[in-house]
Structure formats: structure tokens, C-alpha cells
């Protein structure tokens, strides 16, 4: 659906022009989930802040179950720039997924992403774009932690603490990719379309931290920051949930284990944690009077189940849809138990055939079977079936119609998180 105001062909706003006299096109992507009471005020403030040299359009990517689409249509009637609505039938990927759909549909030189609740001040939008034009930056972040910025709009000490801790953990995990970004949790930023559009197919959003996804996967060559004060929500309720926090942690693991070497390290660390349920199961079974040999076999399955749960939820989350969970579990259990059958003959071969001492032979066998099990897990458990290779390139994505061709959708849900 396209909802355009009377001045859609020529954006109006403040007088003024860019220093070089050039005009710049901007698409403001606004993901919405039940934000009907905020839409009109948002567009009013955005129009009031718009200088003449910016040709602006607003693109709402909407997953609402209330009357937000109708509110956008009403507000667009008096808006001096084009307003478009893209409804999603299936709200895949939460807020980040909505933003990615908008990124695919945008055709302007610059793309600005902001929330609809007015915690991101619309008056700052032109400054983000102008900073990018002036400095040559490909990404400009509105930062609460740059000099002059503030997180005053965060409600309560708990959310402030969560925000600080999330920022610290994220920056420590991705020092290189986030160099020059003091607020990687920000949901308010401007990015050149050329920087992100070619990479849209590799984006794998989960939850609400789309800036983190873009900074790590797209690797903009130059980054700038503009300080801003995080505002109080204008209307409505925060969509913050514990579930979104867990999705954020899963997203961190997914980004950190994007390379095979990193996945192998994580695979090994998860495997080590499997000793705990294994030993606890062994102790319980032998205490019940079961002979230690069958108890060893049964207890090993506790460790296998634990390892599968963590690997499936954290390490290969983006590939789970390729096979049914029972198929994945069966294959994983088969590989884990085959590991034990392979290790013992290998140790015997090293000791008796090659004359290697028992301890070095055991360590070498453990390392060898670990590498084999990791590779086999990737290839046999989480590799897509033949004919579904396209799912690897963009798992969980729906094809986004253009901003003027958005389709109606059935009621659904998307848990949208405000900035922590």
C-alpha cells in the first residue's frame, strides 16, 4: 500500500540547501508493531525537521495487530513527503527482519533506520545524513555514549545496567568490526544504500539489534557518530521481553561463530559442558544399582542430549529449518555414539601399531574424532537437503515487495524490542 500526502512529489520542510547545492534522497525505515498512537506525531516532527535539500520518503514496515496501518494512512494524507507501508504476512526475524525487508525495498542514496515510539528524535535525522555526506562515512550512528549523548529515556536502573552490560559484552566480542562505534546497541542510524544493498542476502537478523548485524556483516569502511539523547516513549508500551534478551544472546553467538574455525571452537566448548550431565547421570544410575558398563552407555546419552540442545539453539540456529528436529537429533546422536566406537580402535591402532604411549594416543584420538564429528555434524545434520541451497543464502527471509507494492497480511505477532 502507498499512502502519499498532497506534497508527495516535492518534499517540503525547512529552507536551506546542502553546502554543495546537491539534493540527497533518503528513505526513513520505521518498523512498527502496534504503534498507532505514535505515527502522526512522528511524521509531523519528521516533516518539521526536513531541510529542502533532502528528498525524503518514509517506509513503515508493519507487523501490527492493531489499527496502526489505518493510522499511517490518515497521517499520510497531510504529510509533505511520500509515505509507504509494507505489511508482512509472516513477521520473520522480529524488528531486525522488518528492517531488512525495508533495506531491500529502499532505492534512495541514504537509508535511515529509527523506531516509531519517538525515543529516537526525528529532528536528528537530517544531521545523520549530512554528517555522512560531509565526512564520507558509510555508516553514521546516533550514539547515547558519544560526547554529549544521554540514555535518560531508559526507564529505571535495571534497563540502564542491561544496556551498559550488553554494550560492553558486544564490543569486547567484536573489537575490530565495532571500532569507532560507541553504541552498537543503537537502533537509530543512517547508512549508504550501496554499502548494505549488495549484502542484503547475507543478513541473518534475529531480534532487534540490526545495527550490530549490519556493522559486522557489511563492514562499512568509514563510520561516524552523532551524539543524541534517548527520549521517553511518546505513547504506548515498551515491547521489551525476556525472550528478546535471550534472542539477543543467541544472535551474539551466531555472529561470533560465523566462521568454521569459530564454530569448531564453540562446538568443542559445548562438548565439554556435556560432561556434567553425563557424570550426573552415571552417578544416579550406578546409585540405583545398574552395572557401570550399561550405565556408562545410558549416561552418555544425557551428555549427547545436552550437547544437541545447546548446539541446535545457539550454534546452528539459522539452519534448523532444513530438517525436522527429530531428524537432527537422531543424526546427531548417531554421530556422537559412533565417535566412541571409532575412538577405541584408533587408540589401539596408535598404541599397538605405531608404538605411541597410551596418554598421547588417547589425546590424538580425541582430537581426531572431534574434528571428524564437527565436520560430520555440519555436513550430515545441518547441511540443507538437495534442492534447498537457496535457504542457506538467506535463511528465514521472505521476499519483500517494493514499497509501493506492499501486500495485505493476516494478523500475526512480532515482538519488537526498544533500545535497551
Q: Which are the contacts of 309, defined by CB distance < 8 A and separation ≥ 6? A: none
Distance CA 256, CA 173 (A): 7
Over the stretch 122-140, which tens digit does the pLDDT of each residue have? Answer: 999 999 999 999 999 999 9
Over the stretch 367-406, which tens digit does the pLDDT of each residue have? Answer: 888 888 888 888 888 876 655 444 433 333 333 333 333 3
For residue 50, give the nearest of 85, 26, 71, 76 by alpha carbon: 26
Length of the chain: 420
The answer to whether the Cα torsion of 374, 325, 338, 294 is positive or negative is positive
Distance CA 229, CA 155 (A): 13
Q: How confident is the model at residue 58 (pLDDT cuts 50, 70, 90)?
A: very high
Work out the average pLDDT over 154-178.
69
- In this prediction, what percent of the chain has a pLDDT beyond 70? 74
**Helical spans, DSSP H, in 148-207:** 156-173, 193-197
Number of Cβ atoms within 10 Å of the Cβ of 389: 10
Work out the average pLDDT over 148-166.
64
Report residue 241: phi and psi, to 5°: -140, 160
Confidence check: pLDDT of 78 > 80: yes
For residue 192, give the nearest of 213, 214, 160 by alpha carbon: 214
Largest CA distance in the chain: 87
What's the pLDDT score for residue 123?
A: 93
Distance CA 88, CA 398 (A): 9
More confident site: 278 or 256: 278
Per the structure block, which three cell numbers stand in for 169? 559484552
What's the pLDDT score for residue 226?
A: 94
Distance CA 33, CA 138 (A): 28
Per the structure block, which three cell numbers stand in for 27? 528513505
For residue 406, give the nearest of 68, 61, 74 by alpha carbon: 61
Which neighbouring-strand residues pair with 85?
A: 60
Residue that the C-alpha cell 525476556 belongs to: 242
Residue that the C-alpha cell 529502499 belongs to: 106
More confident site: 404 or 74: 74
Residue that the C-alpha cell 553504541 belongs to: 183
Between β-strands 82-87 and 189-192, what pairing exists: parallel, antiparallel or unpaired? Answer: unpaired
- In which element (H, E) is residue 212 found? helix 210-218
Angle between helix 242-256 and helix 210-218 axes, rounded to 10 deg? 10
Amino acid at each position: 500500500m502507498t499512502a502519499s500526502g498532497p506534497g508527495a512529489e516535492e518534499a517540503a520542510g525547512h529552507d536551506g540547501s546542502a553546502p554543495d547545492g546537491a539534493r540527497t534522497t533518503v528513505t526513513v525505515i520505521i518498523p512498527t508493531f502496534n504503534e498507532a498512537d505514535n505515527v502522526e506525531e512522528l511524521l509531523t516532527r519528521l516533516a518539521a525537521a526536513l531541510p529542502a535539500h533532502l528528498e525524503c520518503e518514509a517506509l513503515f514496515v508493519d507487523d501490527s495487530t492493531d489499527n496502526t496501518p489505518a493510522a499511517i494512512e490518515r497521517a499520510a494524507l497531510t504529510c509533505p513527503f511520500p509515505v509507504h507501508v509494507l505489511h508482512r504476512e509472516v513477521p520473520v526475524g522480529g524488528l531486525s527482519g522488518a528492517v531488512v525487508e525495508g533495506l531491500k525495498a529502499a532505492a534512495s542514496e541514504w537509508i535511515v533506520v529509527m523506531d516509531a515510539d519517538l525515543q529516537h528524535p526525528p529532528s536528528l535525522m537530517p544531521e545523520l545524513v549530512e554528517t555522512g555526506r560531509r565526512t564520507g562515512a558509510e555508516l553514521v550512528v546516533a550514539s547515547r555514549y558519544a560526547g554529549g549523548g544521554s540514555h535518560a529515556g531508559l526507564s529505571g536502573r535495571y534497563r540502564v545496567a542491561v544496556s551498559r552490560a550488553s554494550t560492553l559484552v558486544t564490543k569486547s566480542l567484536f573489537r575490530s568490526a565495532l571500532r569507532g562505534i560507541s553504541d552498537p546497541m543503537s537502533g537509530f542510524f543512517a547508512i549508504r544504500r550501496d554499502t548494505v544493498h549488495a549484502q542484503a542476502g547475507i543478513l541473518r537478523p534475529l531480534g532487534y539489534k540490526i545495527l550490530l548485524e549490519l556493522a559486522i556483516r557489511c563492514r562499512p569502511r568509514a563510520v561516524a557518530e552523532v551524539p543524541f539523547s534517548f527520549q521517553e516513549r511518546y505513547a504506548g508500551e515498551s515491547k521489551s521481553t525476556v525472550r528478546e534478551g535471550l534472542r539477543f544472546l543467541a544472535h551474539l553467538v551466531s555472529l561470533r561463530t560465523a566462521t568454521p574455525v569459530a564454530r569448531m571452537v564453540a562446538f568443542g566448548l559445548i562438548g565439554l559442558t556435556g560432561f556434567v550431565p553425563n557424570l550426573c547421570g552415571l552417578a544416579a544410575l550406578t546409585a540405583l544399582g545398574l552395572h557401570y558398563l550399561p550405565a556408562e552407555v545410558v549416561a552418555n546419552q544425557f551428555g549427547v542430549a545436552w550437547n544437541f540442545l545447546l548446539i541446535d539453539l545457539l550454534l546452528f540456529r539459522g539452519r534448523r529449518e532444513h530438517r525436522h528436529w527429530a531428524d537432527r537429533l537422531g543424526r546427531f546422536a548417531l554421530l556422537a555414539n559412533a565417535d566412541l566406537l571409532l575412538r577405541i580402535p584408533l587408540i589401539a591402532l596408535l598404541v599397538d601399531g605405531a608404538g605411541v604411549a597410551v596418554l598421547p594416543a588417547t589425546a590424538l584420538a580425541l582430537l581426531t574424532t572431534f574434528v571428524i564429528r564437527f565436520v560430520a555434524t555440519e555436513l550430515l545434520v545441518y547441511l540443507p537437503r538437495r534442492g534447498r541451497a537457496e535457504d542457506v543464502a538467506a535463511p528465514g527471509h521472505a521476499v519483500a515487495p517494493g514499497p509501493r507494492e506492499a501486500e495485505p497480511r493476516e494478523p500475526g505477532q512480532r515482538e519488537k524490542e526498544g533500545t535497551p
